Amino acid sequence: MSRSSVSRAISRELIWVAISLGIFLFFAWLTGFWVLTLFAYIFFYLIRQIWSFYQFEACLREVPNVDSPQTGIWEELYSLVSHKQRALKKRADLQNNKSEQFHAASMALPIAIVSLTKNHKIEWFNNAAQTLLSIKPSDTGRKLETLVRQPEFIQYLKQKELEKPLFLEAFMGQTRTYRCEIFDYYHGHRLLMLEDVHELYNLAKIRKDFVANASHELRTPLTVVNGYLEMMIDVPDQIPIFWKKPLGQMHHQSLRMQAIIEDLLTLSKIESDTLVNAITVVKVDEVLKNIEVDIRYLYSEDYDIHFLIEEGLTLKGVEEPLKSVFTNLISNAFRYTPKGGKVSVRWYSDASGLHFEVEDTGIGISKEHLSRLTERFYRVDTARSRESGGTGLGLAIVKHVLEKHDSELKIQSQIGKGSIFSCDFL
């Protein structure tokens, strides 16, 4: 109720009290029954307020054939409450409509969705979940693991921290691939999502197999071609002078193609998990010191090089892939930093874990390219990358190796100021 409305209501009420009291006092003066008249007035006033309250309450309950109160404060109060009531009803109708739309959309989704309590009891599920999991409305309140008896699924369900999805190549008697993911939401509740990714999974598998097989098959003939090219280059006196430059270019390109094939095979091995079957304790400080020796031999005359390596820090993983990560990131820093620039390599620990960083004062990378740098064959500057000998697969290898070691590549860069490539390990 606004201040002006209150003022008007009080004014009307006071005017009514003054007029009615004046009438009763005039009647008492005529009759001389002052006390009786006063009690009569009080009784009349109370009856009036009780009737107004009844009208107010009855109108709120929408009782038929009852008018709204027409007296001072009660009239204004009813006007305010009825206005708020209409606004709340309108808002409730809108929320109810949105809720119905959300429920209908959830039911129509082809992805199976199940809402679970923290104890994995079923709260709600959509039509796709009803079909895929063979659950019925009567199963609400039952534990999901009593309905889905698949060991790897139950083990995944019981995990407290679910950062990665689970891929099931057979589920509920169906030989199809499903992607399973669980999210925590709303005070400990969990949301289970099951999606049929059989076609996409098969396509990805076919692509990986094709890349691996094609790369493997290309390795032998390319080695033969490269061998003959080297043999001809090694006897320059027996080669016509006009063939020397073409032979040199062919040799350079064959070496580049050989490097691409080796990187493709490495990437294929990483994706197929064949490189992470021998996890050991890797002495990263020793690995980096060996890399430092090679780097200083190649670049110390042209660059300001700093290696800050904290000794004694070890990491559980596979040494060769990790060495590939460190070598790729360090080599890239020199590849894209002009001569005279500075490259710093750091390996250290703090309260949050172990960290590897490579910082350079190179040409930098625009923001629009940062999110795509780890894609296969993606290059910011194609001509420069080819000229420097890059295969376009280095950062893709780095990304996949780090994923296998529960880490990720972070990139900070500014054009003309340089870049920082970092990896955090737990």
Q: 3-state SS string over the chain?
A: CCHHHHHHHHHHHHHHHHHHHHHHHHHHHHHCCHHHHHHHHHHHHHHHHHHHHHHHHHHHCCCCCCCCCCCHHHHHHHHHHHHHHHHHHHHHHHHHHHHHHHHHHHHHCCCEEEEECCCCEEEEECHHHHHHCCCCHHHCCCEHHHCCCCHHHHHHHHCCCCCCCEEECCECCECCCEEEEEEEECCCEEEEEEEECHHHHHHHHHHHHHHHHHHHHHHHHHHHHHHHHHHHHCCHHHCCHHHHHHHHHHHHHHHHHHHHHHHHHHHHHHHCCCCCCCCEEEEHHHHHHHHHHHHHHHHCCCCEEEEEECCCCEEEECHHHHHHHHHHHHHHHHHCCCCCCEEEEEEEEECCEEEEEEEECCCCCCHHHHCCCCCCCCCCCHHHHHHHCCCCCHHHHHHHHHHHCCCCEEEEEECCCEEEEEEEEC
Phi then psi for 337, rounded to 5 degrees? Answer: -115, 125
Task: Determine the average pLDDT of the residues in 228-245.
Answer: 79
Indicate the range of 24-28, 315-319, 331-335 predicted with least confidence.
Answer: 24-28
Q: How far apart are CA 302 and CA 387, in angstroms?
A: 18
Do 413 and 419 form a contact (C-beta atoms < 8 A)?
Answer: yes
Query: Is residue 3 predicted with pLDDT exceeding 70?
Result: no
Query: Is residue 139 predicted with pLDDT exceeding 60?
Result: yes
Query: Is residue 4 predicted with pLDDT exceeding 70?
Result: no
Task: Determine the average pLDDT of the residues in 332-349.
Answer: 91
Strands 304-309 and 342-350: parallel
Residue indicated by tokens 């990805």: 204
pLDDT band at 163 (very low <50, low <70, confident <90, very high): low
For residue 308, list its beta bridge partners.
346
pLDDT band at 275 (very low <50, low <70, confident <90, very high): very low
pLDDT band at 276 (very low <50, low <70, confident <90, very high): very low
Q: Token digits for 255?
A: 């070496």
Do 70 and 12 form a contact (C-beta atoms < 8 A)?
Answer: no
Side-chain-facing half-sphere of 131: CA atoms under 13 Å: 12
Q: How far apart are CA 21 and CA 360, in angstroms?
A: 93
Indicate the range of 58-72, 150-164, 226-240 predicted with least confidence.
Answer: 58-72
Average pLDDT, the chain: 80
Closest C-alpha to 401, from 276, 288, 289: 276
Query: Is residue 108 predicted with pLDDT exceeding 70?
Result: yes
Do 69 and 75 form a contact (C-beta atoms < 8 A)?
Answer: yes
Phi then psi for 412, rounded to 5 degrees? Answer: -125, 135
Query: Is residue 364 predicted with pLDDT exceeding 80?
Result: yes
Task: Determine the average pLDDT of the residues in 342-359.
Answer: 91
pLDDT tens string 43-56: 887 887 777 777 77
Task: Determine the average pLDDT of the residues in 173-185.
Answer: 84
Encoded amino acid at 35, one letter: V
- Cα 205 to Cα 220, 239, 259, 423, distances in angstroms: 24, 46, 23, 28
Q: How far apart are CA 383 and CA 21, in angstroms?
A: 100
For the chain, the farthest-separated pair of C-alpha atoms sits apart, in whole angstroms, at 148
Query: Is residue 200 predicted with pLDDT exceeding 90?
Result: no
The total of other beta-carbon atoms located within 10 Å of residue 277's CB is: 7
Q: How far apart are CA 320 and CA 101, in angstroms?
A: 53
Give the pLDDT of residue 66.
Answer: 62
Go through the domains of the chain in sequence order and give each one's CATH number.
Answer: 3-96 (no CATH), 109-196 (3.30.450.20), 200-271 (1.10.287.130), 280-425 (3.30.565.10)
Indicate the range of 189-198, 211-220, 245-254, 355-364 predicted with least confidence.
Answer: 211-220
Q: How far apart are CA 129 and CA 152, in angstroms?
A: 18
Highest-confidence range of 13-22, 148-157, 187-196, 335-344, by mean pLDDT? 335-344
Highest-confidence range of 4-13, 53-62, 182-191, 352-361, by mean pLDDT? 352-361
Give the pLDDT of residue 280.
Answer: 84
Task: Determine the average pLDDT of the residues in 407-412.
Answer: 88
Encoded amino acid at 7, one letter: S
